[in-house]
């Protein structure tokens, strides 16, 4: 990362010269990567790279925790915009590297490393950088597929735009070069094999709730609600609905707003307190929009919760809504697992039914009208039954899933 301004723009001669030097370096690096012999690596050090906020990357934090428990020394590289989990910060085996201050992590790239694990997306430049670093250090190159980067780019550009086409081939080629892949759904696993032509091992590692997400009894909920300013003055009989969002185009917040407008006009429905947590580029836009609506039985709060507070507030709620829609149609948001871990029925806009069973542990909706009509909003018996189904459902934690699927790979 540059610590000083560049000054005057480069003239054409300087630009041509620097382009030539860069091309020579790229050819040299490619030759080193291709010709370097692969030898057995016995290091107990791993590198995890997130080109984003580590504190808002729970899955990669769970990977880091699991690897540390297995005895690895973890270099965790990313941005520290928000506080990571306390267990991450306090762990002696996990060292956090802030990209704002780091620049190029020379020590991490050139020292012996057992494996490099890259979160995708974003794909550029992390995939090529991770591949290069892995080959230079004889490390295993792992991609953890959360979604497809080119599908996100396609939200803003036409499908046949040169950038989208280039991004698709780039992601496909680097995917084929990785040694191991993890992905979040079986549907994505099949896509990577059939459409990307990846022949190296691919393991479906469904997101699971972390240990800090656990259900509360009715009595415990009432006690915990007194601890947070957003919930301490809730009237008896009021529903508490929570939705966590990053206020980005792939989470259509307007669906929830439109559903609440419909709900607000229904005289037979109880009052509802809606907690919309998170931060992002469209937050102020929606805050202004919410403030202009004359609500009658709906109250909306938009707090930012730290990593340690979010599980506690979530467990205090009655139900939750996930607004995430997949750009690729292949991924599921991790937040739905947080709902289940807290014993909270969830509603999601998704066509993937690998984790959520419609009518059993949650509901699937496609528009505001369907969301507003969900019996969860007004049917006490249905809400209680679905909560019991969530709590009595599959208890497999992230630790258990990681131990069963991922641990044998690293031993």
pLDDT band at 250, cuts 50/70/90? low
The answer to whether residues 188 and 232 belong to one domain is no
Inside any domain, residue 27: no
* Residue 380 confidence (pLDDT) above 50: yes
* Residue 148 confidence (pLDDT) above 90: yes
DSSP 3-state of 116: strand
The answer to whether residues 239 and 191 belong to one domain is no
Token pair of 352, please? 């993937």
Q: Which domain holds residue 156?
A: 40-208+400-410
Q: What is the chain's mean pLDDT, rounded?
A: 80
The answer to whether residues 74 and 179 belong to one domain is yes
The answer to whether residues 230 and 378 belong to one domain is yes
The per-residue DSSP string of 161-223 comes to -HHHHHHHHHHHHHHHH-SEEEES-HHHHHHHHHTS---S-EEE------TT-----HHHHHH
Using only the alpha carbons of the chain, give its radius of gyration: 23
Inside any domain, residue 9: no
Inside any domain, residue 10: no
Per the structure, how many domains does the chain have?
A: 2
Specify the higher pLDDT residue, 335 or 264: 264
pLDDT digits (tens, 9 = 90+) for 308-362: 788 888 888 888 888 777 788 888 777 788 888 888 877 776 656 677 777 777 7
pLDDT digits (tens, 9 = 90+) for 207-241: 887 777 888 887 888 888 888 887 888 888 888 88
Q: Say if residues 324 and 155 touch (Cβ distance below 8 Å).
A: no
* Residue 93 confidence (pLDDT) above 50: yes
The answer to whether residues 261 and 113 belong to one domain is no
DSSP β-bridge partners for residue 388: none
Query: CA nearest 60: which of 107, 103, 105, 120?
Result: 120
Dihedral (CA of 177, 409, 144, 22) sign: negative
The answer to whether residues 384 and 406 belong to one domain is no
Inside any domain, residue 316: yes
Inside any domain, residue 32: no
The answer to whether residues 192 and 45 belong to one domain is yes
* Residue 24 confidence (pLDDT) above 90: no
Q: What is the pTM of this model?
A: 0.74
Inside any domain, residue 16: no
The answer to whether residues 350 and 284 belong to one domain is yes
Inside any domain, residue 102: yes
Most confident of 50-64, 123-137, 182-196, 367-381: 182-196
DSSP β-bridge partners for residue 242: 275, 320
The answer to whether residues 201 and 324 belong to one domain is no
The answer to whether residues 286 and 148 belong to one domain is no
The per-residue DSSP string of 237-301 comes to T-EEEEEE---STTB-HHHHHHHHHHHHT-TTSPPEEEEEE---TTHHHHHHHHHTS--SSEEEE
Q: Percent of the chain scored above 70 by pLDDT?
A: 82
Inside any domain, residue 343: yes
The answer to which of 118-127, 271-280, 318-327 has the lowest mean pLDDT is 318-327
At 375, which CATH number? 3.40.50.2000
The answer to whether residues 406 and 373 belong to one domain is no
The answer to whether residues 274 and 199 belong to one domain is no
């Amino acid at each position: 990362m540059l610590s000083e301004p560049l000054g005057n723009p480069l003239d054409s001669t300087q630009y041509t010269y620097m382009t030539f030097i860069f091309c020579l370096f790229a050819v040299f690096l490619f030759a080193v990567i291709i010709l370097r012999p692969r030898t057995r690596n016995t290091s107990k050090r791993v590198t995890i790279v997130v080109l984003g906020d580590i504190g808002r990357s729970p899955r990669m934090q769970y990977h880091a925790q699991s690897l540390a428990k297995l005895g690895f020394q973890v270099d965790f590289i990313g941005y520290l915009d928000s506080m990571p989990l306390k267990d991450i910060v306090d762990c002696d085996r996990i060292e956090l590297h802030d990209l704002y201050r780091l620049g190029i992590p020379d020590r991490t790239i050139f020292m012996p490393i057992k494996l490099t694990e890259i979160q995708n997306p974003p794909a550029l430049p992390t995939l090529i950088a991770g591949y290069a670093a892995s080959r230079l250090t004889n490390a295993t190159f792992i991609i953890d597929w959360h979604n497809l980067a080119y599908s996100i780019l396609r939200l803003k550009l036409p499908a046949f735009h040169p950038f989208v086409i280039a991004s698709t081939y780039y992601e496909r080629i680097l995917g084929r070069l990785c040694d191991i892949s993890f992905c979040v759904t079986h549907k994505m696993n099949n896509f990577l094999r059939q459409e990307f032509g990846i022949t190296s091992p691919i393991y479906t590692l469904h997101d699971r709730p972390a240990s800090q997400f656990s259900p509360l009894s009715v009595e415990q909920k009432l006690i915990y609600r007194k601890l947070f300013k957003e919930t301490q003055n809730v009237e008896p009989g009021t529903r508490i609905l929570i939705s966590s969002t990053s206020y980005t185009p792939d989470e259509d917040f307007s669906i929830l707003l439109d559903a609440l407008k419909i709900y607000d006009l229904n005289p037979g429905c109880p009052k509802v307190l809606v907690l919309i947590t998170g931060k992002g580029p469209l937050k102020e836009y929606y805050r202004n929009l919410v403030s202009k609506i004359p609500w009658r039985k709906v109250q909306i709060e938009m707090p930012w919760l730290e990593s340690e507070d979010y599980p506690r507030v979530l467990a205090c709620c009655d139900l939750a809504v996930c607004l995430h829609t997949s750009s690729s149609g292949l991924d599921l948001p991790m937040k739905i697992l947080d709902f289940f871990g807290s014993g909270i029925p969830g509603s999601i806009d998704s066509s993937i039914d690998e984790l959520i069973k419609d009518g059993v542990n949650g509901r699937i909706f496609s528009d505001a009208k369907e969301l507003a009509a969900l019996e969860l909003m007004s049917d006490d018996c249905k809400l209680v039954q679905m909560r019991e189904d969530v709590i009595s459902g599959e208890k497999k934690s992230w630790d258990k899933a990681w131990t069963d699927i991922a641990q044998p790979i690293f031993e």
